[in-house]
Structure 1
Amino acid sequence: MSYSVNASILLTEVPLLERPAAVARHGFTRAEFWWPFPTATPAPEEVDAFVRSLREAGVRLTGLNLFAGDMPGGERGILSHPGRAAEFRAGVESLVRVARATGCRGFNALYGTRFSGCTPREQDDAAVENLRFAARAVAPFGGVVLVEPLSGAPRYPLRTAADVMTVIERVDRENVKLLADFYHLAVNGEDVDALIERHAGDFAHIQIADAPGRHEPGTGELPLHRWVARARELGYTGPVSLEYASSQDDPFAWLPREQRG
């Protein structure tokens, strides 16, 4: 099993540039991050410092979110905001710099929430064009743009795998694929067992957290181990991202150290 630590939701007691080293101290060799910069266009020295923190820790970057706006303020992506296309695309150019320096190949594009002053169709059209732009930008080095359903954001329109697949079909690019976050899917009422049976081989990335609570596996009621094992049986070959909020002093106590690398 190959695990990747989401170091934007875990290890938050550690400064961001020290988190790759913290990931390594816990016995992992892979990490992913939400967008790690305060703006879509970080200065070169900011990018260099982030890349250096990974390299010095010996940690491979397996996933990176595209710029998603003001996440602490409640934004969940600007992909579908017609008035922010230039900002989004500038963020893609910054992401490409990080990707080329780290070897990262998976990029999560949060869709954005519905807002007044713009029709859902206008937002969806903007999202499709921005996804095509991102897909073209990362295609030369084998990058994949990921789209996921979310829970906990009432105005976020992608709630199920079917919602995401509708967008992906409109985009019509081979390197735009589904991110299967078992926590969000389950909380939103998805039949995760059925989804795995139908589409496990098409998953481009898996993230896990238990529910209720969005904490460590074993703290809730979801059969995460069974779901992951079945997805692998049916063709999923990528890492499993640990994207949960810690509820205890050791957020990885559930996973033997010899299984983390």
Structure 2
Amino acid sequence: MSHTPGYTVNCSLLFTELPVNERPRAAKDAGFHAVEFWWPFETATPEQADVDAFVAAIDTAGVRLTGLNFFAGRLPGPDRGVLSHPDRAAEFRANIDVVVQIAERTGATGFNALYGLRQDGVDPAEQDRVALENTLAAAEGVAKVGGTVLVEPISGSEAYPLKTAAEGLAFVARAKDAGADNVALLADFFHLAVNGEDLAAVVREHAADFGHIQIADAPGRGEPGTGELPIAELLTASRAGGYRGPVGLEYKPTVPSAESFGRLP
């Protein structure tokens, strides 16, 4: 069985019953040709042998790595990214080199830099300044592989400051104004819907500006068909509106991963 080449399987939420380096092969066996991951290592600067094993797993599976998160702290969990955390800026900067190395070896071009939560005792304006500086450094780093830094509004934490497409796009605009052309919005339809967005309007007004799309149904974050989102219509409208990239399957399957693809648009 082969699926449309327009999908990329998020192997940090799918096939989680398998070790990380076995998931690309599982995606291929399920009929897909592309995968994406959150940061797949415990630390921002893993051992070279661990990086090599991850790259080899993608190569031997015969899939393409389309996207990768920058180091984001403990995810899922208490951190939700470190981009805006002054005390972790050195960690984030060191991570950029590792991300670029993986990109050079795999061809990945989409890199999600999760913003991070507001921190007690830290001026929000200082966090935003650090986030912008780190984004500019990340954008400069991935520019050499034709990459884009992705900015994602997410749900589930009041302390995460980017909740709407407008808030994400405002930060993207700040980065562009500061000289980084390769920064763009990651439109995760699940997170935006949970945060109360009119998804049809967001797609209608901004599809051509999306750097990446990820899908899960809402409520629940399960596979398409388990919730109430008109995912097929939203994807059709996104293509019509100028979105040309892959669509990340970033959902929590309610059945074994290999059985969860039956209702994809």
Question: What TM-score, normalized to structure 1?
Answer: 0.96
Tell me how far apart the structure 2 counterparts of residues 166 and 83 of structure 1 sit (CA, whole Å).
Answer: 24
Which position in structure 2 is the counterpart of 1:88? Answer: 92
Which position in structure 2 is the counterpart of 1:67? Answer: 71
- Give how far 1:72 is off: 4.0
Which position in structure 1 is the counterpart of 2:101? Answer: 97
What is the identity, as a one-letter code, of the residue corresponding to 2:92?
F
- Give how far 1:184 is off: 0.5
Unaligned runs of 5+ in 1: none
Tell me how many residue pairs correspond in the alignment.
Answer: 256
Tell me how far apart the structure 1 counterparts of residues 224 and 172 of structure 2 sit (CA, whole Å).
Answer: 30
Tell me how far apart the structure 1 counterparts of residues 174 and 104 of structure 2 sit (CA, whole Å).
Answer: 28
User: Matches of residues 181-196 of structure 1 in structure 2 within 5 Å?
Assistant: 181-196=188-203
Which position in structure 1 is the counterpart of 2:228? Answer: 221
Is residue 2:124 matched to residue 1:120? yes
Q: Identity over the aligned pairs, expressed in percent?
A: 57
Greater length-normalized contact order (CA 8 Å, ≥ 6 residues apart): 1
Which position in structure 2 is the counterpart of 1:209? Answer: 216
Distance 1:238 1:72, change over 3 A: closer
Tell me how far apart the structure 2 counterparts of residues 35 and 150 of structure 1 sit (CA, whole Å).
Answer: 17
Distance 1:230 1:72, change over 3 A: closer
Distance 1:12 1:169, change over 3 A: same
Contact 2:73 2:79 (C-alpha < 8 Å) held by counterparts? yes
Tell me how far apart the structure 2 counterparts of residues 71 and 248 of structure 1 sit (CA, whole Å).
Answer: 22
Deviation per residue, 1:34-89 (Å, 9 max, x gap): 00010000111111000000000001001100000112441101100012111000
Unaligned runs of 5+ in 2: none
- Give how far 1:149 is off: 0.4
Of 216, 235, 253, which aligns to 1:246?
253
Contact 2:39 2:71 (C-alpha < 8 Å) held by counterparts? yes
Tell me how far apart the structure 1 counterparts of residues 121 and 113 of structure 2 sit (CA, whole Å).
Answer: 23
Question: Once structures 1 and 2 are overlaid, which stretch shifts more, 164-173 or 203-212?
Answer: 164-173
* RMSD, aligned α-carbons: 1.0
Which position in structure 1 is the counterpart of 2:169? Answer: 165
Tell me how far apart the structure 2 counterparts of residues 102 and 33 of structure 1 sit (CA, whole Å).
Answer: 13
Q: Secondary structure of 2:204's partner?
A: helix
Which position in structure 1 is the counterpart of 2:134? Answer: 130
Tell me how far apart the structure 2 counterparts of residues 225 and 76 of structure 1 sit (CA, whole Å).
Answer: 28
Is residue 2:241 matched to residue 1:234? yes
Tell me how far apart the structure 1 counterparts of residues 77 and 152 of structure 2 sit (CA, whole Å).
Answer: 20
- Give how far 1:209 is off: 0.3
User: Matches of residues 33-72 of structure 1 in structure 2 within 5 Å?
Assistant: 33-72=37-76
Q: Secondary structure of 1:32's partner?
A: strand
Is residue 2:174 matched to residue 1:174? no
Question: Once structures 1 and 2 are overlaid, which stretch shifts more, 161-170 or 98-107?
Answer: 161-170
Which position in structure 2 is the counterpart of 1:151? Answer: 155
Q: Secondary structure of 2:137's partner?
A: helix
Deviation per residue, 1:215-260 (Å, 9 max, x gap): 01011000000000010011111111100001013122224xxx9x
Contact 2:100 2:145 (C-alpha < 8 Å) held by counterparts? no
Deviation per residue, 1:7-54 (Å, 9 max, x gap): 000110011110000001100000000000100001111110000000
Question: Once structures 1 and 2 are overlaid, which stretch shifts more, 161-170 or 3-12?
Answer: 161-170
Tell me how far apart the structure 2 counterparts of residues 153 and 8 of structure 1 sit (CA, whole Å).
Answer: 20
Question: What TM-score, normalized to structure 2?
Answer: 0.95
Contact 2:96 2:138 (C-alpha < 8 Å) held by counterparts? yes
Deviation per residue, 1:180-223 (Å, 9 max, x gap): 11110111011111111111111111000001100010110000
What is the identity, as a one-letter code, of the residue corresponding to 1:252?
F
